[in-house]
Amino acid sequence: MYLKNIELQGFKSFANKIQLNFNPGITGIVGPNGSGKSNVADAVRWVLGEQSAKQLRGAKMEDVIFAGTENRKKLGFCQVSLTIDNTEKKLPIDYTEVTVARRVYRSGESEYSINGGNCRLKDVHELFFDTGIGKEGYSIIGQGQIDKILSSKPEDRRDLFDEAAGIVKYKKRKELAEKKLQEEKQNLFRVNDILSEIE
């Protein structure tokens, strides 16, 4: 599994649609200061569902949309698509290539898709659970993140090990089941209350 391609349109400094193709192995992105190298990493983080503008080095989510220059008007939306090679079927989907896309409008409206089909953010998260690729995964190591990991609380550090061990999806399912169980307990409690009133 490797990142094959990323397409950006209207994302931060990339007003025009551009495609970056990657091969297996190591790829370096070089360029002068301010040319947009970190914006490419931000785009990867964003399409994987990053919800924090701060993590994307902005003040509000709208800041990911091309803000215009002296010669060019600002844009109304941006879109990023990420294509991952899945020939080894590490992602739980029956395709040898998986394209995840996210689009956001200035109005705040946001859309996600997997291989062209609209989906929810939850589906994007579930696709990448336990692969290390998700926005909380360890495949994107930002500046200062190693220090943060080393100095973080043991419980927070454990999240990384859970992801690597492949148990995040089970933990999430357990959380959901426990929440549902709690709701059912409340319902039962109410029913018993009504029954005792009638009797």
To the question of whether residue 192 is assigned a binding role by annotation, the answer is no
112 lies in the site for ligand ATP, by CB under 6 A: no
To the question of whether residue 36 is assigned a binding role by annotation, the answer is yes
**How many C-beta atoms surround the C-beta of residue 93 within 10 A?**
13
DSSP string, 115-180: TTEEE-HHHHHHHHTTTT-STTSSSS--TTHHHHHHHS-HHHHHHHHHHHHT-HHHHHHHHHHHHH
| Tokens found for residue 44 | 């990867």
Cβ distance to ligand ATP smaller for residue 15 or 114: 15
Smallest gap from residue 13 Cβ to ligand ATP (A): 4
Instruction: Classify 46 as helix, strand or coil.
Output: helix
110 lies in the site for ligand ATP, by CB under 6 A: no
| Tokens found for residue 4 | 């094959």
Cβ distance to ligand ATP smaller for residue 3 or 78: 78
66 lies in the site for ligand ATP, by CB under 6 A: yes
To the question of whether residue 23 is assigned a binding role by annotation, the answer is no
Smallest gap from residue 45 Cβ to ligand ATP (A): 12
**Do the strands 110-114 and 117-119 form a parallel or antiparallel pair, or are they unpaired?**
antiparallel
The only residue of 13, 99, 113, 152 in contact with ligand ATP, by rule CB under 6 A: 13
- The contact set with ligand ATP (CB under 6 A) reads 12-13, 31, 33-39, 63, 65-67
**Residue ranges for the binding site for ATP?**
32-39
